[in-house]
Amino acid sequence: MNPAEQIIKYKMTQDEISAYKLCILWDSICEKELPRYKRIKSKQTGDPRKSLLFRYCYKLLKETRGLIEYKNYRLYITAQIHVLRNISDGNVHALIEPGCLTGDGAWRRWKLWKKRYDKAKIAQAVPHSDGKSSFSQIQSALIRTKKFLFEKFDGPPSSDQIHAAVQEFLIVKWLTLGKISPYYVLLSPFVANSIDKKSFEEYFMFDLSIYKSSVTDEVNNLFLKEFDYEYDKK
């Protein structure tokens, strides 16, 4: 049963849906950052709300309501993993489990990491004073995305296939793992038609505003050329 079906079956409230999406996000980020780490995952069968991970994600939402924009939870979870991964006492490393997402310690880790992240973000923007990605970088990212999607779907994916990937949160996972480019998410008609009028940030829990300024006519034309199958040719 895919996530969308579970949401319907268990008649989740809006807060429960948000917490469930954080569970999926936790799984994706851990898979990327800690591929060999034995970790607590989302409940694979039955009601996902009964899992330990869900309880902590729900608690996280309650503790940080009004303090963190929903789109920034991706960064928040990444922050906890990055900080704890580098803490050790001899050969003993800090335990990375869902409980690390809540409490005063988690908030302190977030504020410390976010401060460093913001500084690094500013420093990375120095070579390009406007903070924009170069056309060649965007081109490479979109071509890699196209190759990944063609391999995944054995050719150009249909609108229904992308819609299913959105509903099953596979697009979120692929974005987190770097399999697809944020520029694909921003420009794809298939994706836009599949998120049910929600904002990109709300669905992907990803601040896409930093990419929008790099979307020029040249980038739009490139996307139209590489992903022409996403446009109605009638």
pLDDT in tens, 134-184: 889 899 999 999 999 999 999 999 999 999 998 888 888 888 778 899 899
Assess contact for 56 and 99: CB atoms under 8 A: yes
CA of 157: how far to CAs of 92, 169, 225, in Å? 46, 16, 15
Total residue count of the chain as it appears in this document: 234
Q: What is the pLDDT of residue 127?
A: 41
Give the Å distances, CA to CA, from 197 to 44, 93, 157, 193, 201. 28, 43, 22, 8, 12
Instruction: Tell me the average pLDDT of the chain.
Output: 84
pLDDT given for residue 178 in this prediction: 82
Asked if the structure places residue 48 within a domain, the reply is yes
pTM attached to this predicted model: 0.64
Tell whether 118 is covered by a domain. yes
Residue 178 counted as domain residue: yes
Check pLDDT > 70 for residue 90. no
What is the reported pLDDT for 132? 58
120 shares its domain with 22: yes
**Total domains present in the chain:** 2
Going by pLDDT thresholds of 50, 70 and 90, the confidence category of residue 128 is: very low
Domain, as residue range, for 212: 135-230
User: What's the pLDDT at 93?
Assistant: 57
Average pLDDT of the residues in 114-127: 64
- From the list 29, 1, 84, the residue with the least C-alpha distance to 205 is 29
| 170 and 113 both lie in a single domain | no
16: tokens are 């429960």
* Co-location of 29 and 120 in the same domain: yes
State residue 45's pLDDT score: 75
185 versus 208: the higher-pLDDT residue is 185
CB burial of residue 107 (10 Å; 0-12, 13-18, 19+): middle
CA 168 to chain centre: 13
36 in the same domain as 109: yes
Domain match, 15 and 96 both: yes
pLDDT at residue 56 in the model: 96
Judge if 30 and 61 occupy the same domain: yes
For residue 126, the model assigns a pLDDT of 40
